[in-house]
Amino acid sequence: MIRLCVIALAFSSFALGQASHDLSGIWRWSKGVLTMSNTTPQMTPWGQAKFDANKPSYGPRAIPPALGNDPQGKCDPLGIPRLLFFGPTARVEIVQTSDRLLQFFEWEHIWRTIWTDGRALAADLDPTYLGTSAGKWEGDTFVVDAVGFDERTWLDHFGDPHSDEMRLQERYRRVNRDTLELTLTLTDPKAYTKAWVSETKTFKLQPKKDEIQEIFCVPSQEEEFNRRVRDPAAGKSGK
């Protein structure tokens, strides 16, 4: 009986939105399109030019990697939010400390720091691949604001662009022990004529034994792979 009460309390704490502000664990993509949403806002001329110049190897515009220019093909950093849209192949592990929340991305084997020490985001940050992020709890939702992104990364696998003016807000909510939901709002007046609000993404908690693997993207090995595999696959000579 006591055990049942404990279990009931644990579940009710999530149901009532009184979870322990704990997002830690190994999470795997479960549901959602691998971009903000299927409805892209109208792009500015600058955004459209970037989109047209990007030659992806995923989605309706996909061409073989040997013929495209996806930064991933050369192991260039994917950046945020693309790493969040990577899909079920790679996990993300969340670790929380007293002044930050860390996202360890299995793909590229890198981490992102989300500061939780109350700092404000500076207005004139030098752009970086992962941007600069600050997070805080609003009830049961962890809200992250991020700015200062390097515009050389793509927004997603499909070649959607962003600029260094992109501001991103992520809202994480752990709806039960095993389920983490994420919605994003992207504001980038240089690339899009209005804000882009995502659909809800879902991640599922993985067992602890499913540890983060070392999945580097090694430029020399990827170059060799391109030469010996991707080029022949596309009909190019792989010498």
Partner 1 sequence: MNRMLLVRLVICCVPMLAHHGTNASYDLGKNVTLKATVTEFVWSNPHCALFFDVKDDQGNVVHWVGETNSPGVLLRAGWTRKIMQPGDQITITVHPSRAGTATGVVQTIVLPDGKVLERGAGAAQ
Contact window for partner 1 (CB under 8 A) among 66-74, 126-134, 167-175, 177-185: 66-74
Q: Which two tokens stand for residue 24?
A: 């830690």
**Which residues, 166 to 195, sit near partner 1 by CB under 8 A?**
none
As a whole number of angstroms, the distance between CA 12 and CA 4 comes to 12
As a whole number of angstroms, the distance between CA 149 and CA 122 comes to 13
**Beta bridge mates, 25:** 94
Contact window for partner 1 (CB under 8 A) among 56-64, 146-154, 163-171, 196-204: 56-64
Q: What is the DSSP letter of 196?
A: E
Q: Does 70 bind partner 1 (CB under 8 A)?
A: yes
Under 8 Å between Cβ of 119 and 148: no
Q: Does 74 bind partner 1 (CB under 8 A)?
A: no
Q: Is 7 exposed, middle or buried (0-12, 13-18, 19+ CB in 10 A)?
A: exposed
Among 37, 59, 115, 121, binds partner 1 (CB under 8 A): 59
Looking at the Cβ atoms of 125 and 218, the one nearer to partner 1 is 218
Among 13, 69, 87, 140, binds partner 1 (CB under 8 A): 87
As a whole number of angstroms, the distance between CA 87 and CA 67 comes to 23
Residue where the block lists tokens 């034994």: 209
**Which residues, 12 to 51, sit near partner 1 by CB under 8 A?**
34
Looking at the Cβ atoms of 59 and 189, the one nearer to partner 1 is 59
* Nearest by Cα to 182 from 27, 15, 14, 25: 27
As a whole number of angstroms, the distance between CA 65 and CA 38 comes to 23
CB of 120 to partner 1, least distance (A): 35
Q: Does 65 bind partner 1 (CB under 8 A)?
A: yes
> How many other C-beta atoms lie within 10 A of the C-beta of residue 25?
20
Looking at the Cβ atoms of 164 and 231, the one nearer to partner 1 is 231
Contact window for partner 1 (CB under 8 A) among 46-54, 163-171, 187-195, 215-223: 215-223
As a whole number of angstroms, the distance between CA 175 and CA 162 comes to 30
Among 27, 51, 105, 107, binds partner 1 (CB under 8 A): 107
As a whole number of angstroms, the distance between CA 131 and CA 14 comes to 31
Looking at the Cβ atoms of 86 and 142, the one nearer to partner 1 is 86
Among 73, 127, 131, 159, binds partner 1 (CB under 8 A): 73
Amino acid at 3: R
The footprint of partner 1 (CB under 8 A) covers 34, 57-59, 62-66, 68, 70, 72-73, 75, 85-90, 106-107, 157, 210, 213-218, 221-222, 224-225, 228-230, 232-235
